[in-house]
Amino acid sequence: MTDKVSASIIHHFSTIQDPRVNRQKKHQLQDIFFITLCAVICGADNWVAIEEFGEAKEEWFTELLDLQYGIPSHDTLGDVFAVIDTDEFSDCFSKWVSDLATLTEGEVIAIDGK
C-alpha cells in the first residue's frame, strides 16, 4: 500500500512525535510547523521574524488553523524546534517536497529562490 500524494503540510508533518509536556501544549505542533514553513518560504530567517510573519498574516492563519491562543511566540517556536526529532522533521520535509514535485510534474520553484 502506498501513501496518497499530498501537498498538505499538515498531512506530511502530522507523524512527528510531540515531545512537549501536555500542560505546556498551548499550540498544536502541526500549526507551529505550518506557520514556520510558510514564514521561512517567504524569507523569515529567525524565530522573531517567523513570529512577526505569523502576526502579520494572523487573520489568514486563523482561517486555516485552530489558533485558540494566537500566533506562537518566538520563544515557543525556538523551544519546540529545540526538542523535536530533527531527523524525523527532515524526513517529513523531504517527502512533502517530493509530493509537491510529483503533483506539479516537476514544475516547482525552488524554495531557496534559485
C-alpha cell at 68: 485558540
Residue 15's Cβ-count burial label (10 Å; 0-12, 13-18, 19+) is: exposed
Spatial distance between the Cα atoms of 59 and 70, rounded to a whole number of angstroms: 10
Residue 109's SS3 state is: coil
Residues ≥6 apart with Cβ < 8 Å to 100:
7, 108
What Å distances lie between residue 62 and 32, 34, 67, 68, CA to CA? 12, 12, 6, 9
Rounded percentage of the chain residues whose pLDDT exceeds 70:
89
The per-residue pLDDT for 86 is: 92
Distance (Å, rounded) from C-alpha 28 to C-alpha 22?
Answer: 11
Handedness of CA 44, 34, 19, 1 (dihedral sign): negative
Number of neighbouring beta carbons within 10 Å of residue 52: 15
- Portion of the chain with pLDDT greater than 90, in percent: 58
Residue 1 — very low, low, confident or very high, per pLDDT cuts 50/70/90?
A: very low
pTM above 0.75, yes or no: yes
